[in-house]
Amino acid sequence: MTAICDGRVAVVTGAGRGLGRAHALALAAEGARVVVNDLGVGPDGGGACAEPARQVAEEIRARGGEAVAHGADVATADGAASLVTTALRTFGRLDVLVNNAGFLRDRMLVSMDADDWDAVVRVHLAGHFLPLRHACAHWRAEAKAGRRPVARVVNTTSGAGLLGSVGQANYAAAKAGVVALTLVAAAELGRYGVQVNAIAPAARTRMTEGPFADAMAAPADGGFDAMAPANVSPLVAWLASAASEGVTGQVFAVEAGRITVMEGWHPGPTADKADRWSPAEAGEAVRGLLRGARTPRPVYGAG
């Protein structure tokens, strides 16, 4: 390893399994001291268990690293505050926040109830906003005290948030919100020495079981495992390091050995009458504009 994060302190939410676990292990291998957060809930958010976070922290220590487990719910104000406090009390500083916690409750729109919507939006959006808010309050105070941090935030969006996904309206809406939150945070927090980016990973986790299981399966011949969560983590470690200076407000799709800069919304064809349109005129103009516009990529799962 390159020790690219040597001396840094990172907190990783949802780090008991899957991508979060891979990120925590990778950061520790690169020299970071890690707060391993996980509430230990099931794939749909039910139940809670302290064991996943504890096991990953123990795994890091067994490999010669430093880590502490944290089992609070970071989608609550108290849980998010305690996440930051744990880093400061245990390791004396905080340099990196990796927001990764989440779960799914997939339903078609006509079958989705308010609880399904609220639970998924809460864990992904509040679970990003609240740790970010508390971490950045600390970093702002440090900057104002003349100790400008070299702070990094890595948020987790999804292809579902960038393109949409059939049967995942709650998840897709929340992950699209994570992108907007990333852009706002990057713009607001740069003055305090905080860089904020997002990744859209594709990897084998509990959240990709079911209809994607075959595509995500490990190769039977023991070759390169394109869907291993650990494939995503090197980029996270680099974004978490001081070496990523100047990279902020970006979204990176990461899958297997491929990294893609996602370029987001850009103005396309435009018509300007310089006066008010009639409905018929507006419709005619729109049809003409669409003939010159690029064809959107299909929503995941669309027929």
Terminal-residue alpha carbon distance, the chain: 44
Instruction: With beta carbons less than 8 A apart as the criterion, state whether 76 and 130 touch.
Output: yes
Catalytic residue among 82, 111, 165, 175: 175
3-class SS of residue 284: helix
Q: Return the beta strands (E) in the chain as ranges.
A: 9-12, 33-37, 67-70, 96-98, 151-156, 194-202, 251-255, 258-262
CA 133/CA 79 separation, integer angstroms: 12
Has 158 been annotated as catalytic? yes
Burial 139-169 (b: 16+ CB within 10 A, else e): bbebbeeeeebebbbbbbbbbbbbbbbbbbb
Q: Is 144 annotated as catalytic?
A: no
Residue 278 is a catalytic residue: no
Q: Which of 82, 111, 144, 158 is catalytic?
A: 158
Find out whether 14 and 101 touch, Cβ atoms under 8 Å.
yes
User: Any idea which residue has 């104000």 for tokens?
Assistant: 77
Pick the catalytic residue from 111, 144, 165, 171: 171
Task: Dig out the tokens for 64 from the structure.
Answer: 């010669």
CA 207 to chain centre: 14
Neighbours of 58 (CB within 10 A): 13
Which residues lie across from 147 on neighbouring strands? none
Q: CA torsion sign, 242 to 126 to 107 to 180?
A: negative
**Which residues are catalytically annotated?**
158, 171, 175
